[in-house]
Amino acid sequence: MRDQLSEAVKGHNADYVEIRLEQNEATVLVYQGKRLEEVGRTAGSGGNVRALVKGGWGFVSFNSINGLREKVEAATLQARLASKEQSQLAPVAPVVDVVEAQGRRDPTKIPLVVKKQLLDEYNDIVLRTPKIQTSTINYHDSRRKVILANSEGTYIEQEKIDLGLRLTAVARDANDIQQRSLSIGSSSDFSTVVNLQEKVREIANQAVRLLSAPEVKGGEYTVILDPVLAGVFAHEAFGHLSEADFVYENKQLREIMVLGRRFGGKQLNIVDGAAVPGLRGSYKYDDEGTPATKTYLIREGILEARLHSRETAAKMAEKPTGNARSLSYFFPPIVRMTNTFIEPGSASFEEMVSEVKEGVYVKDWYGGTTSLEMFTFSAAEAYMIREGKLAELLRPVVLTGNVFVTLNNIDAIGDDLQMNEGGGCGKGEQIPLPVSNGSPHIRIRNCLMGGK
Amino acid sequence: MEAEQILSLAKKVADEAEVFQVHSQRVPVRFEANRLKQIQRQEGTATALRLVKEGKIGLSAVGGEVQVQTLVDMAVKTSQFGALANFIFPSASVYPDVNIFDPETEKVPVEKMIDISESLVAQLTEHTPDILCEGAIAKEVRQTRILNSKGAEVSYLKSLFSISLEGVVIRDTDMLFVGDSESYCRPEVDGKTIAKRVIEQLELAKRKASVSTKLMPVIFAPRGVASAFIAPLMVAFNGKLVLEGASPLKNRQGEEVFDNKLSLRDDATIHYRPTSRPCDDEGTPSQSTLLVERGKLMNFLYDLQTAALAKTRSTGNGNRSRGSLPVPSANCFVLSEGNVPFDDMVKDMKEGLVVEQLMGAEQGNLLAGDFSGNVLLGYKVEGGEIVGRVKDTTVAGNVYQVLKNLEAVGKERRWIGGFLFSPALYCPSLSVATKVG
């Protein structure tokens, strides 16, 4: 295979050519209420060619690897049509390597019957809870092998495992419906989804409790975010803004996002890195063959670096960070996050709460999105804080803010970092990409919340 | 990999079988920061096999090439654990005559697509020199085949031509996002209309205005309707969630659940619309399904299996994604037109908001119909006139309460993203919150 690919990328009068081939397989189980609705197995194979000519990119994706040279030619021709300027790619030393997936308890090797028994048990726990109307469970595990060869001599075979479980309990009282979910993910270990009985029971009970919870009044509050939601906040509010492909061709944004600018207090450190091992966003090389790194986006409140592909790094005269990722062979790699987190500080959760006269404690996530400047993210669970104490449970809330203001309003960072591997990230059409994010508890002043 | 071959092998080992195959070729021309960036050709074949063995459903799917035997073996293996099949595959039927293929679409030269993108960017930068545009002009042809053991054999071609554009104007750390998109089966999508709409947004957003935290009337422009109400409605009419009792509309057929100025149908039979087709992904003929008639709840959306469990008929809403089993989902929502022109709605307002786009509104408790989002693009109205763009503002409410009592429904309708044909909706009172600190 190596010889075939090396031959195909040669001599095309392009500045750069790469070929990516992929094989994947996955198992999916879907429950709706008491029925196991879907048990499916999928497999796929395909690849793509990407060519760069004078700053323009051509991209051809395919299922069959027959006629590779013709495909490279087609991509080169497209690139030529789009060419306008000098090509720029940050140098990365060519590498030849084979990386095998390291499953601690490889989920793709666990028999289907074991998965089904486990999910049956969780589903029963949810459905036996009084006032629970129904449930949904989505489970998937997958294995993906990608071969990358480029015209600079790189040849990498890399294999990855991914696992995800999302369980939702739906409670109902007349026309009122509330829901609560559990999301778990892993890059290696089936053990992460076993022994969750207690958590599942708690999720179901929480959905029921939400039925009698009041709605928050819309306005500005001091909020304390739990590690899960604070991780989503780090991802949405700052992570996306750190993706250099939003910035590199944009003069004004480059001025705003100039390295050295202060975004938060001295206690604020935000990191992204696939080199942080053992998480869903971890890997050895990105989809351009750049070795993974660990990047301080914000160090002591100051913008220190951003996430790059080879092209964005070259155009901004910064170092490539190994963040070019593609969802599958159908898409070209673009700049993506990997494992994004706020580093722990020194405050305890109790201290943070005790200093709040009136505020809201928000936990766990439904979702989040960003326009770069503005972001929204939603909490699945919320409590009023009154006179330094946690008070009544509230209905789920949606928080929103302006990144340039909000990071500065973080006034306490906890000492209890936790990573959350239960989400996927979407950018353009490429969704869901395995990532993780995390944080300790954090406290933010003047956070805007929608409500009645 | 021939669909016929898969079906015939599957029939040997299973009681019933169905093969669903899509081959697509898509050519997007992408531009970024006002410049042409990348030309792509994305080609792919996806094949799914659903079979019924000993009464239970098995499923396997492949992207690309795979051995026929492997596909059949995988499906047989999963059928041991599969759900009971309550449905029967549809036999060959008469399908509605829906035009969704134009041979001209795939013939549009890439050079022409490049021209469209460059002219779009030129029109916008002429209006606002420091705007940065990104987007894509794309053409696509898709062939879908559905074969089953009851003798159905469907094959149809669909073509798509689409233009999407997003512009950002940055002044200091203030970012203004504008944009629009169009998608149609024929290559008649007009870049000029998109440029005109975006320029209108830029004009209205030139001045800034602020609102205060309180209840006020809100007009949702069609794009605002799409970003605030459509996600919870699509969930509420999903027959599966109705069956499970997870939709608040369960057992309310015949009741007036919305304002009587509102009618809604789901329709996959409109010529040349992106979600139209002769039949759904399991071979049920496409139809127009009345969901709400003058406020009264009429129907829900079903696929075969859910319809069988609910003791009703499939409405042709069996949709598949990524090699999954079909599930009921909306094809295309069409809201009825009202009788009040948009300008008259604005004139009627003493103080209020026009919402063009709400960000993050679909992230709350969708099942209950709650929405809460950041006004990404919206305008303040004072004394019957739009006075400027608002920021740092959220709008929150519940779709069942909001759509139960509408001040007016717009006279003008437009297509949004190919899945919604909607007028503007004028709500008398909604909770608006804004940042002061």
* pLDDT tens figures, A153-211: 999 999 999 999 999 999 999 888 999 999 999 998 999 999 999 999 999 999 999 99
Write the burial class of residue A66 (CB in 10 Å: 0-12 exposed, 13-18 middle, 19+ buried).
exposed
Residue with tokens 């998608």: B183
CB pairs under 8 A between A and B: 266
Domains within chain A, CATH numbers bracketed: 2-210 (3.30.2290.10), 219-449 (no CATH)
Q: Please list the residues that pair with A149 across neighbouring strands.
A: A19, A155
Residues of B in contact with A60 (CB under 8 A): 40-43
What per-residue confidence (pLDDT) applies to B437? 54
What per-residue confidence (pLDDT) applies to B65? 82
Helices (H) and strands (E) in chain B, counts: 11, 19
Verify whether the Cβ–Cβ distance B364 to A366 is below 8 Å.
yes
CA-wise closest residue to A147 among A329, A310, A25, A293: A329
CA-CA-CA-CA torsion for B242, B248, B250, B255, nearest 10 degrees?
Answer: -140
CB of A113 less than 8 A from some CB of B: yes
Verify whether the Cβ–Cβ distance B130 to A252 is below 8 Å.
yes
What confidence category does residue A132 fall into, taking pLDDT thresholds of 50, 70 and 90?
A: very high
User: Mutate which of A37, A81, A85 to disrupt the B interface (most B C-beta within 10 Å)?
Assistant: A37
Alpha carbon of B90: minimum distance to chain A alpha carbons (Å): 20
Tell me the pLDDT tens digit for each residue of A405-435.
999 999 999 999 999 999 889 998 899 999 9
CB of A1 less than 8 A from some CB of B: no
If you count them, how many residues does chain A have? Answer: 452
Q: Are B134 and A372 in contact, with CB atoms under 8 Å apart?
A: no
What per-residue confidence (pLDDT) applies to B67? 87
Residues of B in contact with A59 (CB under 8 A): 38-42
What per-residue confidence (pLDDT) applies to B172? 84
What per-residue confidence (pLDDT) applies to B225? 97
CA-wise closest residue to B168 among A373, A427, A306, A84: A373
Verify whether the Cβ–Cβ distance B367 to A330 is below 8 Å.
no
What confidence category does residue A237 fall into, taking pLDDT thresholds of 50, 70 and 90?
A: confident
* Residue B368: closest C-alpha in chain A: A177
| Separation CA A283–CA A305 (nearest Å) | 20
- Per-residue pLDDT, averaged over A16-34, amounts to 96
Alpha carbon of A406: minimum distance to chain B alpha carbons (Å): 11
Verify whether the Cβ–Cβ distance A63 to B43 is below 8 Å.
yes
DSSP letters for B281-303: TTSPBP-EEEEEETTEE---B--
* Residue B358: closest C-alpha in chain A: A376
Residues of B in contact with A37 (CB under 8 A): 83, 305, 325
What per-residue confidence (pLDDT) applies to B1? 61
Alpha carbon of B97: minimum distance to chain A alpha carbons (Å): 31
Q: Are A376 and A399 in contact, with CB atoms under 8 Å apart?
A: yes
74-93 in A: which are within 8 Å (CB) of B? 74-75, 78-79, 81-82, 84
Alpha carbon of A369: minimum distance to chain B alpha carbons (Å): 6
Verify whether the Cβ–Cβ distance B433 to A448 is below 8 Å.
yes
Question: Which pTM value belongs to this model?
Answer: 0.94
Domains within chain B, CATH numbers bracketed: 3-201 (3.30.2290.10), 207-437 (no CATH)
The pair phi, psi for residue A186, each rounded to 5°, is: -160, 155
What per-residue confidence (pLDDT) applies to B114? 96
CA-wise closest residue to A175 among B157, B255, B194: B255
Of B63, B111, B437, the CB nearest to A446: B437
Q: Are B126 and B255 in contact, with CB atoms under 8 Å apart?
A: no
Residues of B in contact with A39 (CB under 8 A): 58-59, 78-79, 81-83
For residue B322, give the 3-state DSSP assignment: coil
* Residue A61: closest C-alpha in chain B: B42
Q: What is the ipTM of this complex?
A: 0.93
Alpha carbon of B50: minimum distance to chain A alpha carbons (Å): 9
Residues of B in contact with A82 (CB under 8 A): 29, 36-39
Verify whether the Cβ–Cβ distance B170 to A250 is below 8 Å.
yes
| Separation CA A138–CA A246 (nearest Å) | 32
Residues of A in contact with B65 (CB under 8 A): 45, 63-64
What per-residue confidence (pLDDT) applies to B362? 85
Give Cβ neighbours of residue A199 (< 8 Å, ≥ 6 apart): A182
User: Mutate which of A141, A252, A262 to disrupt the B interface (most B C-beta within 10 Å)?
Assistant: A252
How much is the CA Rg of chain A, to the nearest whole Å?
23
Residue A254, H or E segment = helix A251-256
Residue A88 above 90 pLDDT? yes
Write the burial class of residue A88 (CB in 10 Å: 0-12 exposed, 13-18 middle, 19+ buried).
middle
| Separation CA A297–CA A292 (nearest Å) | 15
What per-residue confidence (pLDDT) applies to A389? 98
What per-residue confidence (pLDDT) applies to B199? 97
Segment-wise mean pLDDT, segments of 10 residues, chain B, 437 residues? 92 97 96 94 95 97 90 96 96 96 97 95 96 96 97 97 95 91 91 94 94 95 96 96 95 97 98 97 98 98 98 97 92 97 98 95 89 94 97 94 97 94 98 83
What per-residue confidence (pLDDT) applies to B153? 96
- Neighbour order of strands in the sheet with A339-342: A302-303, A294-299, A270-273, A339-342, A436-439, A418-420
Verify whether the Cβ–Cβ distance B435 to A220 is below 8 Å.
yes
Give Cβ neighbours of residue B373 (< 8 Å, ≥ 6 apart): A376, A398, A400, A450, B227, B228, B358, B359, B360, B361, B362, B363, B394, B395, B396
CB of B109 less than 8 A from some CB of A: no
Alpha carbon of A300: minimum distance to chain B alpha carbons (Å): 21
CA-wise closest residue to A396 among A443, A438, A362, A444: A362
Distances in Å between the Cα of A384 and the Cα atoms of A162, A193, B334 are 37, 31, 41
Q: Are A95 and A322 in contact, with CB atoms under 8 Å apart?
A: no
Alpha carbon of B372: minimum distance to chain A alpha carbons (Å): 6
CB of A445 less than 8 A from some CB of B: yes
Q: Are A74 and A58 in contact, with CB atoms under 8 Å apart?
A: yes
